[in-house]
């Protein structure tokens, strides 16, 4: 069979230190077994694709299973670890920080753990942010709160300067918690480290509330986001239903991907229209959004519209695009535009309506993680620590096909994950709302 080197994880060297975690290598003794680097999880679970690989004598793509290794690269008492959080707020960041500290301290005996304040800015000495010493006592209660105790920021810093800072502070492991831009920055840091021949591990933990990291099942904070959004949509429905021809527009996060909006519509099935960045829709025309909205009002006398922040940007035809500090396009406010267009449309046909517009985005971003996200955050942190202590670098930990695995950062940052408009998830959202398959 032809060799397959896809999704291979980089190692700093040969791990030679016996792990301080007393696990097993024997199946059936009721003790968890160490994971071998050769333990791999199939990337594609479709049987026909496996058959195709076998027919062409090619080893199918697979991912390295995550978990504790029998031999590790770093000796705990001699290791210094650092944690940085970047980008927008997201439920669960403090959970990850807490679990990283606890796992490093109690599993591997790491004596010194520091927090990098305010994102990658904290790795630039000229900015003047001091490191934060992290201990189990300091982090033991932080999971009860949203936000991040380390602070965050957007935008990159000079990679060479950041690596110099890690070296000068004798950092052995860097955990970077963030989304696409953060992970690309972590990969750049890790690559510079490898180019210099240094022995510093860089680990990414994917954090994006939009759930738009490619390949992985989900990013932490995503489930909490639509969990918090659901009662808001429920109350918006009550507002709409309480007025003759009442409408409620709820704008949710989703700059390039509409997973939160669609998941909310599925979870709270009072939503009549869900608009996401992946869909191409028109306002005008006999099958446009406004005509379909009028049909809904004529039939039920109220409507609830959930819109992702990145939806309908094609409607802002003459506005120049601007970017934030991370290089992301700053979208125009589709919620306000929809409210204005809907009002103008119904005013023009002399149809009395009431419109409420709700944007709960920052309330959702700042919420503490729910139980399911808390569980996921703990798993991510523990698996990240096991991988980093084993000397793996430039990798992220994530769940894929319901299994925790290690993935090269470069592979998950090639493109953004988007809703498959021909897939079952989007079909489920359309069935829940009852909106047309196309509004063009």
Both 267 and 278 in a single domain? yes
Q: Reduced to 3 states, what is the DSSP secondary structure of residue 165? A: helix
- Within-domain flag for 52: no
Both 357 and 382 in a single domain? no
Identified catalytic residue from 14, 158, 210, 333: 210
Q: What is the dihedral of CA 241, 246, 251, 256, to 10 degrees?
A: 110
Both 290 and 428 in a single domain? yes
Both 199 and 228 in a single domain? no
Number of domains in the chain: 2
What CA–CA distance (Å, rounded) separates 74 from 78?
A: 8
Q: How far is CA 408 from the centre of its chain?
A: 16
367 Cβ partners below 8 Å, 6+ apart? 91, 146, 224, 225, 228
210 is an active site residue:
yes
Per-residue buried b or exposed e for 50-61, using 16+ beta carbons within 10 Å of the residue's own CB: eeebeeeeeebe
CATH code of residue 313: 3.40.50.460
- The annotation places the binding site for Mg(2+) at 180
- The annotation places the binding site for substrate at 208-210, 253-255, 309, 362-365
User: What was the pLDDT predicted at 54?
Assistant: 84
pLDDT digits (tens, 9 = 90+) for 46-61: 899 888 888 888 899 9
Both 204 and 266 in a single domain? no
Both 187 and 99 in a single domain? yes
User: What was the pLDDT predicted at 327?
Assistant: 64
Strands 392-393 and 10-11, bridge-based pairing: antiparallel
pLDDT band at residue 324 using 50, 70 and 90 as cut-offs: low
385, 209 Cβ separation under 8 angstroms: no
pLDDT band at residue 5 using 50, 70 and 90 as cut-offs: confident
- Within-domain flag for 7: no
Q: Which of these, 306, 312, 206, 216, lies nearest to 255 by C-alpha position?
A: 312
Both 297 and 360 in a single domain? yes
Supply the mean pLDDT for the chain.
95
Tokens 């032809």, located at residue: 2
313 Cβ partners below 8 Å, 6+ apart? 277, 331, 332, 334
Both 228 and 312 in a single domain? yes
- Within-domain flag for 412: no
Both 87 and 204 in a single domain? yes
User: What was the pLDDT predicted at 325?
Assistant: 61
Both 201 and 80 in a single domain? yes
154 compared with 11, residue with greater pLDDT: 11
Both 212 and 233 in a single domain? no
pLDDT digits (tens, 9 = 90+) for 209-223: 999 999 999 999 999
- Within-domain flag for 248: yes
- Within-domain flag for 382: yes
Domain, as residue range, for 215: 65-220+369-400
425 Cβ partners below 8 Å, 6+ apart? 262, 419
- Within-domain flag for 135: yes
Q: Which of these, 128, 129, 108, lies nearest to 117 by C-alpha position?
A: 129
Q: What is the pTM of this model?
A: 0.95
- The annotation places the binding site for ATP at 88, 154-155, 179-182
What CA–CA distance (Å, rounded) separates 387 from 407?
A: 11
CATH code of residue 93: 3.40.50.450
Both 361 and 373 in a single domain? no
- The annotation places the binding site at 88, 154-155, 179-182, 208-210, 253-255, 309, 362-365
82, 162 Cβ separation under 8 angstroms: no
- Within-domain flag for 20: no
- Within-domain flag for 216: yes
């Amino acid at each position: 069979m032809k060799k397959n080197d896809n999704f291979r994880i980089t190692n700093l060297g040969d791990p030679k230190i016996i792990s301080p975690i007393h696990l097993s290598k024997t199946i059936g003794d009721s003790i968890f077994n160490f994971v071998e680097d050769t333990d791999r999880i199939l990337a594609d679970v479709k049987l026909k694709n496996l058959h195709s690989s076998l027919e062409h004598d090619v080893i199918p793509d697979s991912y390295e299973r995550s978990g504790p290794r029998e031999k590790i690269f770093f000796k705990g008492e001699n290791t210094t670890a650092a944690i940085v959080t970047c980008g927008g707020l997201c439920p669960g960041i403090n959970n990850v920080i807490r679990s990283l500290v606890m796992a490093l301290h109690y599993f591997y005996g790491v004596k010194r753990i520091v927090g990098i304040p305010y994102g990658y800015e904290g790795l630039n000495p000229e900015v003047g942010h001091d490191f934060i010493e992290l201990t189990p006592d300091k982090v033991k209660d932080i999971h009860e709160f949203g936000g991040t105790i380390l602070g965050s920021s957007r935008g990159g810093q000079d990679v060479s300067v950041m690596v110099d800072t890690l070296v000068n502070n004798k950092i052995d492991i860097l955990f970077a918690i963030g989304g696409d831009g953060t992970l690309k920055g972590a990969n750049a840091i890790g690559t510079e480290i490898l180019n210099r021949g240094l022995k510093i591990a860089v680990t990414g933990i994917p954090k994006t509330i939009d759930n738009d990291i490619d390949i992985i099942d989900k990013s932490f904070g995503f489930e909490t986001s639509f969990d918090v959004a659901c009662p808001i949509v429920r109350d918006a429905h009550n507002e709409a239903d309480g007025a003759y021809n009442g409408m409620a527009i709820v704008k949710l996060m989703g700059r390039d991907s509409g997973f939160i909006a669609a998941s909310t519509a599925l979870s709270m099935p009072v939503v009549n229209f869900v608009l996401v960045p992946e869909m191409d829709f028109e306002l005008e025309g006999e099958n446009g959004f406004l005509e379909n909205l009028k049909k809904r009002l004529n039939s039920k006398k109220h409507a609830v519209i959930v819109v992702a922040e990145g939806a309908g940007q094609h409607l802002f035809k003459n506005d120049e695009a601007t970017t934030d500090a991370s290089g992301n396009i700053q979208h125009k406010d589709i919620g306000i535009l929809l409210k204005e267009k809907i009002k103008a449309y119904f005013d023009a046909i002399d149809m009395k309506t009431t419109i409420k517009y709700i944007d709960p985005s920052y309330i959702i971003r700042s919420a503490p993680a729910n139980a399911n996200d808390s569980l996921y955050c703990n798993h991510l942190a523990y698996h990240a620590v096991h991988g980093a202590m084993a000397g793996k670098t430039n990798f992220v930990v994530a769940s894929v096909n319901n299994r925790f695995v290690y993935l090269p950062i470069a592979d998950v940052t090639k493109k953004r994950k988007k809703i498959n408009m021909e897939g079952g998830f989007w079909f489920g959202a359309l069935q829940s709302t009852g909106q047309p398959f196309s509004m063009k």
